[in-house]
Structure 1
Amino acid sequence: MSSFQFNLLSQDPGSRARRGRLQLCHGAVETPVFMPVGTRATVTGMTTDEMQALGAEIVLANTYHLLLRPGPELFRRVGGIHPFMGWDRPVLTDSGGYQIFSLSADRMIREEGAKFRSYVDQRYHLLSPEKSIEMQTAIGSDIMMVLDECVDSTAPESVTRAAMERTHRWALRSLAARTNPAQALFGIVQGGVVPALRRESADFLCQQPFDGLAIGGLAVGDTRAQREDTTAFAAELLPADRPRYLMGVGTPPDLLVAIGCGVDMFDCILPTHLASQGTAFTGTGRVRVTRSAYNSCDEPLDASCTCMVCRKHSRAYLGHLIRCREPLGPRLISRHNFHHYLTLMRDARQAIEDGVYASWAKNKLAQIDRHEHAAPRA
């Protein structure tokens, strides 16, 4: 029997934002939630103890990468990803569809599945809906995703429709391949930025017994306005009694807008990806610590932040680490970025509970300039 439950706890009166709780095999997850990306069974540069201390309740791992290395046999032997990576809280696994999309030169998609060349040993593999579910079952994730065909969000409508319809057929095959009812399974709504296709996709998938539904295929060629409009339109089509997951979209403004549309779950590589370049997220926008203006700056990344990094280290020091390519630099900025994201989610949940999310989010968005700071204060 499935241990999956989703309960709605409160609704913001001034928006579609909602506060909920997911009950999964490895514990409860409060929503709205941001899921740090741990692609290869690790959140880059972070230990599981650090992630738990920051308050992360669920992380994301990737089926495509874990299929290639270390492979399903190891996961079966050790009892899944949780003991393997030393993480006792929930895990969601992506199906590998986006990675297949990104390998345009080394893959061939057909009805059976996606044939691609491994970056590990150059051998060819076939990732089918059944193979994806088999791998996710071996991984032992709390939430599995169906294999979908992802295309550029602004591709011609005929291309977008064909990919959407194949995604639907693969979704049914994924349902049929599921063997462990304790693992939740989410469908993925596709359709690019075409409202009629998004509606058709949502109508089809809502009729299937998925535990939750995701909005896929965004942040792959669309503009910010297109992304926000499509998110709002698609979220409203999804049933209120199931969680809604916006895949791979995740700047702080993206999250604030999507929460207001009724989305519950998010993931994105930006906290670690931009940290490796020396960029931090703050309450008033992004800070790139390698700018020459910060070479002698004694200020923290964010004066209002309570994280260990902001309490102990200056922008000058962090910029020095990044320029010297010291591994500690990206680690510290990643830690700050996750603190920023997870605190934003906690504050959003509280604002929904208090019935003030619409005004709270408006003020937050006004404070975030979405750009780097011009110069440090004197």
Structure 2
Amino acid sequence: MSCFEIIHQNSPARTGVLKIHSGKIKTPFFMPVATKGAVKNILHKELTKMDFECVISNAFINYLKPGLEIIENAGGLHKFMSWDKAIFTDSGGFQLILDHFNPKVTNKGVYLTNPFDKSRELISPEKSIEIQNKLGSDVAMVLDHQPLFGKKRSDYLDSTIRTIEWAKRCKAAHKNKNQLLFGIAQGGNHADLRQKCALALTKIGFDGVALGGFGIGEAQSDMYRIIRAVKKVLPKNNPTYVMGIGSPLEILGAISNGADCFDSAYPTRMARHGKIFTSNGNLEISKAVNKKNLAPLDKECDCFVCKEYSRSYLHHLYKTYEQNAHILLSYHNIYFIQNLIKNIRTSIEEGEFTKFKKSFESKYK
């Protein structure tokens, strides 16, 4: 029985529900990134007020610190974090492209450097699943082999084959019946490799399929092309998760090609760099033009930051390195994304998605 139900379809864009052990998540949805069990500069209660139903946390990082023993003693990741909504956990595959983890990929798994004590850790498919089973997340991800952007086709072929083999081992090792397990289709910008991987994952039998390797340098047009290619070979009722994208236009474009969920640290990271989402496009709060501007960040936004604070004040906080600047700007960016998702859902339900997309894109410059 599928864990995903389509409610409304408006061209490839669709709304639905992802059924997890503890309830349902409305799709499409965006997951803020809580790598260490917290979203940077955003409290859990604020996420709840914004109607976020899910976050994603990093299984490998939580395994290293605070460690499985502490999290298990607390009753699992939900209770440890004091978060009663859904949690996805990433397997650690993304660390394969981060230099400070000094990754070495073998058929056994990936050797990574523990950033806290500099020891070497082997994260095998079995180990990754064991960690996620013990964390007790609602949705676990297989360990995949994600190569750096811009590699040769032969490198992407190797990673596709390895990802499929690791997926088989992850499936065999998965024992938590209260936890969904998603496969991850790799293959870079090569549509045939992505389809090969997606078909293999479907045959193995996962609750959903994610597309990894985005948000690291590819062109938007290539990403949309790959989403369309993979959707052609997936069962219609398979939830499609595009990993690592969080800009307003990318989310809108991915949904228009049939994607159902997303995660990214992009909104909060951009806020810390002073780049703010508005209805009229990105705003750089550090620019001198904002020094005396008493307008809100976005006149169309009803978040408390836009209701209470001016660009001038936020510019001042940012330029004087006040931590409150990061807190307030991060709140706004996350709120903006969630509000966009809500409006997208409504437009799909009302059969007006194409009109909404065109209107949003015409203003977001």
Q: TM-score range by the shorter chain?
A: over 0.9
Q: 2:284 aligns with which of 275, 280, 288?
A: 288
Percent of matched pairs sharing the same residue:
35
Change (3 A) 1:230 1:104: farther
Report if aligned partners of 2:101, 2:113 keep a CA contact under 8 Å in 1. no
Q: 2:4 aligns with which of 3, 6, 13?
A: 6
Report if aligned partners of 2:95, 2:103 keep a CA contact under 8 Å in 1. no
| Partner residue, 1:100 | 96
- Distance (Å, rounded) in 2 between the aligned partners of 1:225 and 1:6: 27
When normalised by structure 1's length, the TM-score is 0.94
Change (3 A) 1:231 1:104: farther
Aligned residue type for 2:186: Q
Aligned residue type for 1:5: C
- Distance (Å, rounded) in 1 between the aligned partners of 2:188 and 2:150: 6
> Structure 1 residue 125 and structure 2 residue 121: aligned?
yes
| Partner residue, 1:372 | none
> Structure 1 residue 334 and structure 2 residue 330: aligned?
yes
| Partner residue, 1:300 | 296
Report if aligned partners of 1:17, 1:262 keep a CA contact under 8 Å in 2. yes
Q: 1:195 aligns with which of 191, 194, 206?
A: 191
- Distance (Å, rounded) in 2 between the aligned partners of 1:86 and 1:107: 32
Question: Over aligned residue pairs, what C-alpha RMSD do you find?
Answer: 1.4
Q: 2:201 aligns with which of 190, 202, 205?
A: 205
> Structure 1 residue 219 and structure 2 residue 177: aligned?
no
How far has the Cα of 1:281 moved from its partner? 0.5
| Partner residue, 2:169 | 173
Q: 2:320 aligns with which of 320, 324, 328?
A: 324
How far has the Cα of 1:104 moved from its partner? 7.0
Deviations along 1:161-197, one digit per CA (max 9) or x if unpaired, are 0011000000000001111111000000111101111
**Where in structure 1 are there 5+ consecutive unaligned residues?**
370-378
Deviations along 1:293-334, one digit per CA (max 9) or x if unpaired, are 111110100001001000000111111111222111111111
| Partner residue, 1:233 | 229
| Partner residue, 1:373 | none
Report if aligned partners of 1:284, 1:367 keep a CA contact under 8 Å in 2. yes
Aligned residue type for 2:9: Q
Q: 2:49 aligns with which of 53, 69, 81?
A: 53
**Where in structure 2 are there 5+ consecutive unaligned residues?**
none
Single out whichever of 216-225 and 99-108 deviates more from structure 2: 99-108
Report if aligned partners of 2:246, 2:267 keep a CA contact under 8 Å in 1. no
Deviations along 1:194-252, one digit per CA (max 9) or x if unpaired, are 11111211111111220000011122232222222222222333221121000001211
> Structure 1 residue 36 and structure 2 residue 32: aligned?
yes
Aligned length: 365
How far has the Cα of 1:338 moved from its partner? 1.2
Aligned residue type for 2:251: L
Report if aligned partners of 1:190, 1:217 keep a CA contact under 8 Å in 2. yes
Single out whichever of 140-149 and 128-137 deviates more from structure 2: 128-137
Q: What secondary structure, in the 3-state scheme, does the structure 1 residue paired with 2:184 have? A: strand
| Partner residue, 2:12 | 16
Aligned residue type for 1:344: L
How far has the Cα of 1:105 moved from its partner? 6.9
| Partner residue, 2:21 | 25
